[in-house]
Structure 1
Amino acid sequence: MDKPVFITSRKHATHLRHDWTRDEAQALYDLPFMDVVFRAQGVHRANFDPNHVETASLLSIKTGGCPEDCGYCSQSAHYQTDVKATKLMDREAVVATAQRAKEAGASRFCMAAAWRNPKDKDLDRVCDMVSAVKELGMETCATLGMLTRDQAARLREAGLDFYNHNVDTSPEFYGHIITTRTMQDRINTLAQAREAGLKVCCGGIVGMGEAVEDRLGMLVLLANLPAHPESVPVNLWNEVKG
């Protein structure tokens, strides 16, 4: 097996790859931890200010009652949880929360709604929220479920910067955690967001019973997308009662 190619400078960073293999991902995983940290620091310093940290704040603008059956989520209507479904928040309340987040140091504000996909009448209200938060001088992000091409374009026109839509896990493990939406559905939404000119926030979750191979599979999937996500959240699932 050929040795993996590592990005260690801005020169190399201009040749980002989209053809990573599972074997290469496994080779990285098998490296001593501090070697991985060292290599990651090299990539970071080659592409970003090493002493700059961006902070973001997220608000659930519509909580609970989601028709999806994601096994990790207490907002799913398929399970008996302690989460009470709420209606979509008012624009004024969202903007007030964003203002407080900005005053606390956040530069990006994400608005999340527990939907399979937004209805057009609800999207009108979300677009108003996005425009208002943008006027505060903050980057805007939203996670609203699946999008059509037109919906993605409307969000972009409203001033949305980032769209969050995670792949959650590897293609092989995906069916163990959700059955109401396919992995291809997720890939399609990412493509719609890209086509509209939105930046993409896309990652997954670890700790759901997946194997190491599934974690690597998720990373390979992300690395081989036509365009790499600008942000890759890796969430640790913390199981709690209710």
Structure 2
Amino acid sequence: MNNLQLEQLLNQTLSPQLVKDYCPNGLQVEGCTEIKKVVTGVTASKALIDAAVEANADALLVHHGYFWKGEAEPIIGMKGARIRSLIQNNMNLYAYHLPLDIHPQLGNNAQLANLLGIKVEGGLEGHAQSVAMHGSFESELTGPELQNRIETVLKRKPLHIAADDEGKKIKTIGWCTGGGQDYLELAAKFGLDAFISGEISERTTYIARELGIHYFAAGHHATERYGVKALGGWLAKEHGLDVEFIDIDNPV
């Protein structure tokens, strides 16, 4: 497949033009014209680039790419080394941030819901581009039971901040993969029993306790492995590309 055709295909699927984001979505670094092998991963770190080079990939498709709003523009230091490696190996870099969080089938939020057995009911922000979702479990869970389920699925023990009433059961839930802890107050106003995100801030503990809502910090990386993996699987199944997901361990 031609590299620009691949970008067009991904754009048609993820509709980045509909989302106001903090970085450019799509082809960020152009490499070879013909793409046969694609490596997918969460973040375009040097370790992932090296693994993609070792796999003889023509393209690297990630959730966290480069050129974030507010970052220094010069291509020097760490960023320079990463981009130099891509260019020297004639490798294309595609990155999709918020569009990959919110896609209703392939997105990080949708994939996490599938893995945890959550019935998706809508967006917390009340529109199709909401990056925080709400839904429900088939049956009630205790806080420790949900903590165990998350650990089993993500292979990482989440931090559980219990509601002020520690025995409060969990039926309704909100979630936002990655750095979504600041949607916790909205989830509490929505009357939800619990909220899951990737990251936690110092203030999150007090918000959860004082507003009576369970909170689970499950890891930014751990909650965002599954969107890009699903996207790669779709490319392989529907478009015949050779796609390999490579997970670079990250405890955060």
TM-score normalised according to structure 1 size: 0.29
Query: Higher strand fraction: Structure 1 or Structure 2?
Result: 2
TM-score normalised according to structure 2 size: 0.28
